[in-house]
Structure 1
Amino acid sequence: MPHPSIESSITFFYTHDLEISAQFYEDVLGLKLWLDQGSCRIYRVSGDGYVGLCQSSETKTPPTEKQSNVIFTLVTQ
């Protein structure tokens, strides 16, 4: 059975402060907002690659030190 082609990808991250995180991604990294979903904001990082930031709930998301590790890399020139 043939696999469907993957046209793009979005990697989502939780944040305890969406406004501060969005400010960093926009002002420091210079990423452009692609879609604002209210509690999640999605930024284009390359032609078909996106990163999403989602406001976490204190009751549902464990503190950062108790979460599994994630490595997120943006390759630039």
Structure 2
Amino acid sequence: MTAPFDQHVTFLYAEDPEPSWRFYEGVLGLPLAQDQGSCRIYAAAPGGRAFLGVCRARGPRVSDNPRVQGGAVITFVAQDVEGWHARLVAAGVTPDKAPAYSETYRVTSFFFRDPAGYTLEVQRFERPDWPAPGD
């Protein structure tokens, strides 16, 4: 049997990537792992296992709805969801709502958008069966 993958990279595309690069570097504080010119890849979690690439798009977005086929929601898992909410509001980001608990998924989270219109989420799992970082 093949072992699990060693690393993960999610790529997002923006017609004008510079505002997104500033957002991921300055507002979210993600460390730049590699600058490929038209694409920048950021470390999204410690340990060199999860990355987020933001690249120049070759065309406009087809849909603003992240929950249709081809859509995406990028979720960052953090214990201090409320602290992230306050940090983003202080940086001028407008989240959809304050952090809230979902009984259905047993998570506390909130959503917001990046400069290219991608839906992002900061989430804390409120369930013992979610693996802790490093597990």
Q: TM-score, structure 1 length as denominator?
A: 0.82
Q: Distance in 1 between matches of 2:16 and 2:57?
A: 8
Give the unaligned 5+ runs of structure 1: none
Structure 2 alignment gaps of length 5 or more: 80-135
Q: Which position in structure 2 is the counterpart of 1:56?
A: 57
Cα distance per residue 1:24-74 (max 9 Å; x no partner): 00111000100000111000011210000010123xx44443883211100
**What residue in structure 2 maps to residue 40 of structure 1?**
39
Letter in 2 for 1:35: Q
**Structure 1 residues 43-52 or 67-76, which shifts more?**
67-76
Structure 2 counterpart of 1:72, from 68, 71, 74: 74
Percent identity reads: 38
**Cα distance in structure 1, aligned partners of 2:10 and 2:55:** 11
CA distance in structure 2 between the partners assigned to 1:15 and 1:4 by the alignment: 33
Task: Name the aligned partner's letter for residue 75 of structure 2.
Answer: T
Distance in 1 between the 2:61 and 2:28 partners? 26
**Number of matched pairs:** 74
RMSD: 1.9
TM-score (structure 2 length as normaliser) = 0.49
1:74 is paired with a residue of what secondary structure? strand
Separation in 2, partners of 1:19, 1:64 = 21
1:31 aligns to 2:30 (yes or no):
yes
- Please say which of residues 34-43 and 67-76 is displaced more in the overlay: 67-76
